[in-house]
């Protein structure tokens, strides 16, 4: 198959949702369609069910699962589908944000009864900022939920999207009869005594046809006709161009658990979702069909086997082909590296591959060369943009708990930070080290992993800070900046890259600082122009 065709057949995407909306269930049903798994229950749910108590085994188990489900790939109707896993738990939101730099589109799952929830809002905001094409799947139609139009309004308002339904429910909950597929112009009946997985598709070009009454009954037929008229009147026609430009978001309804509405979603998805999109590097934009390989690290995972200290770095291929045993330039280190056993992912397994194409993810064994955001090329000095660090919200001093183990402790901290587990700051005033995390659970993960993987012990001490902001002065030599640095000395630190960070101890002090020193810009992500 030609290089161009290989690119065209790839769909690399992520499924995002608030925990419990049905992401795992939907993923599993998609894999079933691809024939990648034989039965339900094969995809492990990688969410942390328990609260943030010290259940370290649980954390370990979760890490194991998330290696296995980091990338799930399968073939469906000649398309190579790569699903990148995005943890739903809010303490791991940063992981998800970074994974979103490697997807070409997303499917957002929303629970019909709960509507738009907090995590969905945050994740969709990131997608919108990056202009990632979004399809919305409203799930659990077999349950009583919100009115479809109200829900569409909610999605528009809370998520700032511009939706157009491509399917529409006929009834809901107990009265759920099925779905009218606006995109394919047919009706999918949800029927049978058990209301389980019994699917019948009836072509229905014209819903005005009296046959509709015989199929779904008089009352439902009238409601559906009215609903569709309203849909036509209120929502714009679906435009693939607008969807690809992230200006319009198609919506599907269904029930992942009952495998209902999932095929329709998948069939439409493979038709409209983008193949690998161009990606901006600091130097230029890179297009998938360029001959030379380029890619970047978006995730690093420690090996689960304590005997092998190596890690797996996940690379998204942006352009060209990635070949086994071919030397590539690690741009940050200015070093050529060869990989004898790159892993590709298929269903829930990984295997060694000789060649991978744009859109694919390869897992490379790493003994500490990589960190998140690193770029690999065939020689070009290229730096991919868009892997920001987010402003952490939990802070603690980190101390060495065993004076004999200082070296492994610092090595461990260094490597965990490269993996993106948390961020390390060094106070300007006294050089003390502070760990900042997006979620509180990370402190336990760090402590546990330092002990089990590096044989080091750490202790924490509270450090009452509200938020860390990256400092970007208009002019390093102006008096305002000098004054800011002098007055706020106690609250200034450097991040691992040496960027200056302001640690605000409260919302109030943050606002006051912004007012007092307007020429000192404070940013909530490490990436700014």
Indicate the residue among 23 and 79 with the shorter CB distance to ligand GDP: 23
Cα 509 from Cα 500, distance rounded (Å): 18
289 is in an annotated binding site: no
291 is in an annotated binding site: no
Residues β-bridged to residue 459: 399
The answer to whether the beta carbons of residues 494 and 431 sit under 8 Å apart is no
Indicate the residue among 22 and 295 with the shorter CB distance to ligand GDP: 22
| Three-point CA angle 411, 416, 417, nearest 5° | 100
Residues listed for the chain: 529
| φ, ψ of residue 260 in degrees (nearest 5) | -110, 125
Long-range contacts of residues 452-457, Cβ cutoff 8 Å, at least 24 apart: 452/306, 453/302, 453/306, 453/309, 453/412, 454/408, 454/409, 454/411, 454/412, 454/415, 455/405, 455/408, 456/400, 456/401, 456/402, 456/405, 456/408, 456/409, 456/412, 457/400, 457/401, 457/402, 457/405, 457/409
CB of 189 to ligand GDP, least distance (A): 16
CB of 177 to ligand GDP, least distance (A): 15
CB neighbour list of residue 99: distance below 8 Å, 6 or more residues apart: 14, 84, 85, 86, 298, 299
Greatest alpha-carbon pair distance for the chain in Å reads 83
Indicate the residue among 260 and 463 with the shorter CB distance to ligand GDP: 260
CB of 26 to ligand GDP, least distance (A): 7
CB of 259 to ligand GDP, least distance (A): 9
Cα 339 from Cα 324, distance rounded (Å): 6
The answer to whether the beta carbons of residues 274 and 244 sit under 8 Å apart is yes
The closest alpha carbon to 387, from 420, 423, 431, belongs to: 420
22 is in an annotated binding site: yes
CB of 271 to ligand GDP, least distance (A): 23
122 is in an annotated binding site: no
50 is in an annotated binding site: no
CB of 175 to ligand GDP, least distance (A): 15
24 is in an annotated binding site: yes
21 is in an annotated binding site: yes
The closest alpha carbon to 56, from 415, 460, 455, 444, belongs to: 444
The closest alpha carbon to 294, from 222, 197, 385, 424, belongs to: 385
CB of 98 to ligand GDP, least distance (A): 19
CB of 383 to ligand GDP, least distance (A): 34
How do strand 167-170 and strand 178-181 relate by DSSP bridges? Answer: antiparallel
Cβ atoms within 10 Å, residue 199: 16
Helix (H, G, I), strand (E, B) or coil at 193: coil
CB of 209 to ligand GDP, least distance (A): 29
140 is in an annotated binding site: yes
Contacting residues toward ligand GDP, per CB under 6 A: 17, 19-25, 45, 47, 88, 139-140, 142-143, 255-258
Judged on CB neighbours under 10 Å (0-12, 13-18, 19+), 210 is exposed
274 is in an annotated binding site: no
418 is in an annotated binding site: no
Indicate the residue among 27 and 389 with the shorter CB distance to ligand GDP: 27
Indicate the residue among 216 and 257 with the shorter CB distance to ligand GDP: 257
| φ, ψ of residue 364 in degrees (nearest 5) | -110, 135
Indicate the residue among 139 and 389 with the shorter CB distance to ligand GDP: 139
Indicate the residue among 261 and 388 with the shorter CB distance to ligand GDP: 261
The answer to whether the beta carbons of residues 123 and 382 sit under 8 Å apart is no
CB of 192 to ligand GDP, least distance (A): 15
The answer to whether the beta carbons of residues 356 and 402 sit under 8 Å apart is no
Indicate the residue among 109 and 166 with the shorter CB distance to ligand GDP: 109
Indicate the residue among 187 and 256 with the shorter CB distance to ligand GDP: 256
The answer to whether the beta carbons of residues 131 and 245 sit under 8 Å apart is yes
CB of 25 to ligand GDP, least distance (A): 3
DSSP state of 490: G
Indicate the residue among 23 and 405 with the shorter CB distance to ligand GDP: 23
Cα 294 from Cα 339, distance rounded (Å): 15
Indicate the residue among 140 and 316 with the shorter CB distance to ligand GDP: 140
89 is in an annotated binding site: yes
| φ, ψ of residue 268 in degrees (nearest 5) | -70, -40
414 is in an annotated binding site: no
23 is in an annotated binding site: yes
88 is in an annotated binding site: yes
Cα 518 from Cα 529, distance rounded (Å): 17
- Binding-site positions read 17-24, 85-89, 139-142
Residues flagged as binding site for GTP: 17-24, 85-89, 139-142
């Amino acid at each position: 198959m030609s290089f161009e065709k290989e690119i065209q057949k790839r769909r690399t995407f992520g499924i995002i949702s608030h925990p419990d909306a049905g992401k795992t269930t939907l993923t599993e049903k998609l894999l079933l369609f691809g024939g990648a798994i034989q039965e339900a229950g094969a995809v492990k749910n990688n969410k942390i069910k328990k609260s943030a108590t010290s259940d370290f085994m649980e954390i370990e188990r979760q890490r194991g699962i998330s290696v296995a489900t980091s990338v799930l790939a399968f073939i469906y109707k000649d398309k190579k589908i790569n699903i990148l896993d995005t943890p739903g738990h809010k303490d791991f939101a940063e992981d998800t944000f970074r994974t979103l730099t490697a997807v070409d589109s997303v499917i957002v799952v929303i629970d019909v009864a709960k509507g738009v929830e907090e995590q969905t809002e945050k994740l969709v905001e990131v997608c919108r900022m990056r202009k990632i094409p979004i399809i919305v799947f409203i799930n659990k139609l077999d349950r009583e939920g919100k009115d479809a139009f109200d829900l569409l309004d909610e999605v528009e308002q809370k998520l700032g999207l511009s939706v157009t339904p491509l399917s529409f429910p006929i009834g809901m909950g107990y009265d759920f009869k099925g779905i009218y597929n606006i995109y394919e112009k047919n009706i999918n009946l949800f029927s049978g005594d058990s209301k389980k997985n019994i699917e019948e598709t009836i072509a229905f070009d014209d819903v005005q046809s009296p046959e509709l009454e015989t199929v779904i009954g008089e009352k439902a037929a009238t409601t559906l006709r009215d609903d569709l008229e309203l849909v036509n009147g209120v929502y714009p026609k679906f435009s693939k161009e607008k969807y690809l430009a992230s200006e319009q978001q198609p919506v599907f309804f269904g029930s992942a658990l009952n495998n209902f509405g999932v095929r329709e979603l998948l069939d439409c998805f493979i038709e409209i979702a983008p193949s690998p999109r161009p990606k901006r590097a600091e130097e230029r934009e890179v297009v998938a069909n360029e001959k030379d390989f380029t890619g970047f690290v978006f995730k690093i995972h420690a090996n689960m086997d304590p005997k092998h200290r190596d890690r797996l770095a996940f690379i998204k291929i942006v352009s060209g082909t990635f070949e086994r045993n071919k030397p590539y330039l690690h741009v940050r280190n200015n070093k050529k590296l060869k990989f004898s056993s790159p892993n590709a992912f298929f269903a829930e397994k990984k295997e060694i591959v000789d060649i991978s194409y744009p859109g694919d993810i390869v897992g490379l064994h790493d003994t500490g060369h990589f960190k998140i955001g690193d770029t690999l090329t065939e020689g070009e000095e290229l730096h991919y943009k868009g892997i920001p660090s987010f402003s952490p919200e939990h802070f603690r001093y980190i101390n060495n708990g065993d004076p004999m183990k200082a070296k492994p402790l610092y090595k461990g901290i260094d490597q965990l930070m490269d993996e993106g587990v948390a961020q390390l700051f060094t106070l300007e005033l006294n050089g003390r080290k502070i760990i900042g995390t997006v979620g509180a659970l990370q402190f336990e993960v760090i402590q546990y992993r330092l002990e089990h993987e590096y044989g080091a012990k750490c202790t924490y001490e509270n450090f009452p800070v509200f938020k860390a902001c990256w400092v970007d002065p208009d002019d390093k030599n102006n008096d305002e900046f000098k004054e800011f640095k002098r007055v706020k000395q106690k609250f200034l630190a450097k991040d691992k890259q040496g960027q200056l960070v302001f640690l605000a101890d409260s919302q109030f002090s943050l606002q006051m600082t912004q007012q007092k020193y307007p020429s000192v810009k404070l940013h909530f992500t490490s990436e700014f122009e």
